[in-house]
A and B are shown apart, each in its own frame.
Chain A
C-alpha cells in the first residue's frame, strides 16, 4: 500500500446522499479475476449513457473536465452504504481518489477504505456545505489534505480539522495495510512457527 502523504489536488463535487456500493460498482462487474481495473466502472450507471460504458454522460458531475484528475471526492451523507463488497474501495482507488469528504460513511465501507489507502474524512454538515459551495463557485479548485496535522485547507482560506483514530492514521501515513501490520510481527511468527514445527513435525512432512 502506498504511503498517504500531504497533497494538494482537485476536489470533485458529487452532491448526492446515500450513495451505495451498488452504485459505486455495479454487480455485473464483480466477476472479474483482477482487483485492478475497476476504476473505469466506477459509478457506471450514472457515468455512462450506454450499458457498455462507451458514451460518457455529459450531465454526470465527475465527467466535467474541471474535475479531471481529482484525488479528493466531496460528497453527501452516508456514503458507501449497502453490500460489503471489497470492490467498492478498489474501484475508488483505481479511479484515482485517495480522499473522500462527507458527513458520514457506512461502517464496513469506512473500514475497507483504510485497507486500501483511502482516507475518509468526516466533517459536520455546515463544513461540508461550505466546502461544497467553494467547489461550486470555482470548479477545479484544489484542496490541501494534511493527514499528519489532520487538516484540510482551501485557497479561500478555509481550514478544517478532522478526527481520525491514531492507529489508523499511523497505518495510512506508513502505508501499512492489514498484511503489513501482521508482517510487522514477523519475528513473533517466526518464533511461533519454529516451536510449532518442533511440536508438530508431521505438519511439515509431505
Chain B
C-alpha cells in the first residue's frame, strides 16, 4: 500500500503496543535547553534511573541567556542564572554534550542542531520546546514535548504516542521575490486557523516548497505548530543532502552512502492518501503582517485591519474584538499606517544567515528613527560570525540597529529583552500572544525583510512598493 512519509517514519520507529495502551515510538534525537529540563533530571535522579542513550542528546543554553555580552558573564536574573547553572551541572553529571555560553557552537537549539547536522531525514526528534517542528525541514518527525515526557525519553528512549492524521499542504507556483517562507507559513495559518492542524502532521509539498532553501523550509516547518499541527514535514531532496554532507554529526564514508539510499526511500509514495489536502498558489501570497494576538489574525500588508463583522463565526468575532482592544487598533486602519516602537530580528523562526542577508539588503543605507529600537539577534554564534564576515553587522549598526549575542531573546522575553507595556513591535518570531514579548507588549509577526523595512520607516511598509521607487 502506498504510504505517506509520516507513516514510513512511524512504522520505522514503532516499538510495541500493549492492548489498551498507546503505541511506544522510538526516539532518535533528544534536544535540550535549560528551561524545560531541570525537573526531568531531578525526576530521573529521584527514581534512580539513568539516561538510556546519551548520544541521542544535544543541549544548549538559549532561552534565558542575555544577548548583551557583559550580562552573559554575570547573569543579572537570579532565576535565569540558576537555570543555566542547573543545566551545566546536569550535563556534566550525565556526560551530555552542551553548547554552553562560552562555546562557539552556542545558540538557539533549533538553529544550532541543523548547523551541526544532528538531525537527519527519517529520524524521530523531540525537545521540550514547541518549535521542535523546525527539524521537519529535513524530513524528520520532530515535535515538542512536556517536562514529564523529557524525563520519559531520557529513561526509555521511547514515548507513548497516538498516531496523528495526515494533512498535505500543497503550495504550487512561484513566490514573488518579496515573499518568503515566513509569508507562506503565515498565509497557511491564516487560511486553516490556529486549530486547523489539531490532530494532524502536516506535509508541505509542491513546486514552491521544492524551490525553498533549507533555511526557508526550517522557517516553514517551525510554524507548523502555530497551526495546531503536531509536526510539519518536507520530503528530503538534493538540497537536504547537500546541506547535511560534511557536517559534524552527518554520516561519513560508507555510512553516508547507506544513509543516502535510505533517505531516498522516505518521500511519500505516489498515490499515498492523506486525511486532508489543502492547496495554495504561491503567486497569490503577498508579504504578511499579523494584526492580532494569534498568528491566524494575519493579512497581506497592503490590506487593512479587519472588523469583528468581517468574520462569520461568533468565536472569531469575539477574538477579533478583544485582539483589537489589546493591540489598540481600529478596524479599517491600513496596515502600512501602523507605527511601531520596536523591531526584533531573531528567534528560531528567522535568525539564520539567509534571514540576516534578506534584512540587511533592505536595511542598507537606511536609518532607524530615534523613537524606534531595533535589535538583531543572530540564532547562533556561527550565524553571527558568518554575518560579520559578510559585513552585515556593519550594515545594521550603521542603520542604527543593535547587534547582539545569540539567544531566544524577545521570542519569549525570558532573558530581560522585552517590550514595555503598550510598545508595538515588528517581530520575526512565531507567536504574537498577549504578553509574549513583555507584559502589555504588542507583537506583529513579519518576515525579516518586512521587519527591516518597518525599522527604517517606523511603520509597516509594503516592501513591493519600496523597491519600485
Contacts and interface: CB of A to CB of B under 8 A. Distances in A.
Contact of B26 (A115, A179, A189): A189
Interface in A2-18: none
Contacts of A181: 21
A148 B249 CA distance: 51
Contacts of B156: 179, 182-183, 186, 189
A182 B258 contact: no
Contact of A192 (B16, B38, B146, B255): B16
Given A34-B42, A86-B147, A202-B251, A196 B47 contact: no
B56 to A, nearest CB: 8
Nearest to A204: B55
B169 interface: no
Interface string A175-187: 0011101110110
A183 B159 CA distance: 11
Contacts of B252: 205
A183 to B, nearest CB: 6
Nearest to B97: A206
Given A33-B83, A192-B16, A179 B49 contact: yes
B248 to A, nearest CB: 9
A35 B255 CA distance: 42
Contact of B158 (A35, A189, A200, A206): A189
A203 interface: yes
A138 to B, nearest CB: 36
B416 interface: no
Contacts of A177: 47
A178 B148 contact: yes
A74 B47 CA distance: 29
B262 interface: yes
28 contacts: A34-B39, A35-B42, A86-B146, A86-B147, A86-B148, A177-B47, A178-B148, A179-B155, A182-B24, A182-B156, A182-B160, A183-B156, A185-B16, A185-B24, A185-B158, A189-B26, A189-B156, A192-B15, A192-B16, A193-B26, A196-B26, A200-B259, A200-B262, A202-B251, A202-B258, A203-B120, A205-B251, A205-B252
Given A33-B82, A186-B156, 5 more contacts: A35-B43, A86-B147, A182-B156, A192-B15, A205-B251
Interface of A: 1, 31, 33-36, 86, 115, 167, 177-179, 181-183, 185-186, 188-189, 192-193, 196, 200-206
4 A-B pairs with the lowest CB-CB distances in the bound complex, closest first: A202-B251, A33-B38, A35-B39, A202-B255
Interface of B: 15-16, 18, 20-21, 24, 26, 28, 38-39, 42-43, 46-47, 49, 55, 79, 82-83, 86, 120, 123, 146-148, 151-152, 155-158, 160, 249, 251-252, 255-256, 258-259, 262
